[in-house]
Amino acid sequence: MAKQSPIAWRLLRPYAARNDTFGDSLMYTENEMRNLYRYFAGMLEYPTGGTLEAAAAAQGLLTDKFPESAAQLQEFHDYAVSLPPGRLEEVYTGTFDLDAACHPYLGYHLFGETYKRSAFLVELKQRFGVEGFTFSPATELPDHLAVILHFLAVTRNEVQSREIASEALLPVLDKMTGRSKSEGFDEDEDVEASGMKKESGKRTQFHGVLEALRSVLQDQFQSLNVVESA
């Protein structure tokens, strides 16, 4: 495996410090998490088909253990079904492009536009390359939320998967849902971003998808922390 960058992964603990045996103590099995990552990726990438199927599949997995999150996805599904052609794409753009607090790039939120984000992008490309993972479009940045989710859906390195999800993805979801401050913009830009939010209609159904994903990861890795500290 490519050597870790201490700059890019400053939030992540070394692999050696992690226990890779968790048994049945987690909310979802490794295979179930891979499926959930794939379904959420389908909902959080630019809509090109498959969004509704992904929402329905994720809802089916969440119904028993996360009924509130399942209800959020049902609401998203029903909303998407009700829209005229092309409207969901407009809502997606309004949510993720017009609101700086909701830009779908992990490195942006973790590091801002600094050299640390550049190192983060390089590290991601190295990790993707080790596992032969490719993504489309090729022009997309590797720290895009949906790209990360697709990678987590296919990687067989479970320690790496848990590390990225719990110590990079979950903190970013906290920022995207307004629970902590993003490193991507300062207070002056935040005022500008607030104006953009108003133009984009403030909260959209995609925020419900982000909330559902955050809830799943939070509970999954709270369970993980309990196991690790036992």
pLDDT for position 113:
86
pLDDT for position 76:
97
* Residue type (1 letter), 117: R
Cα–Cα dist 153/40, whole Å: 10
Write the burial class of residue 19 (CB in 10 Å: 0-12 exposed, 13-18 middle, 19+ buried).
exposed
**Positive or negative: CA dihedral 38, 49, 215, 140:** positive
pLDDT in tens, 30-70: 999 999 999 999 999 999 889 999 999 999 999 999 999 99
Report the percent of the chain where pLDDT is more than 90. 62
Residue 10: is its pLDDT beyond 80? Answer: no
pLDDT in tens, 126-151: 999 999 999 888 889 999 999 999 99
How large is the average pLDDT for residues 80-88? Answer: 96
Residues sharing a CB contact under 8 Å with residue 144, sequence separation 6 or more, in sequence order: 45, 104, 105, 106
pLDDT for position 223:
58
DSSP for 185-217 reads --HHHHHHHHHHHHHTTSS-HHHHHHHHHHHHH
Residue 208: is its pLDDT beyond 50? Answer: yes
pLDDT for position 179:
80
The band of 27, judged by pLDDT with boundaries at 50, 70 and 90, is confident
- Which of residues 224 and 45 earns the better pLDDT score? 45
Q: Provide the CATH topology of domain 25-229.
A: TorD-like (1.10.3480)
Write down the pTM of the prediction: 0.83
pLDDT for position 89:
96
pLDDT for position 178:
85
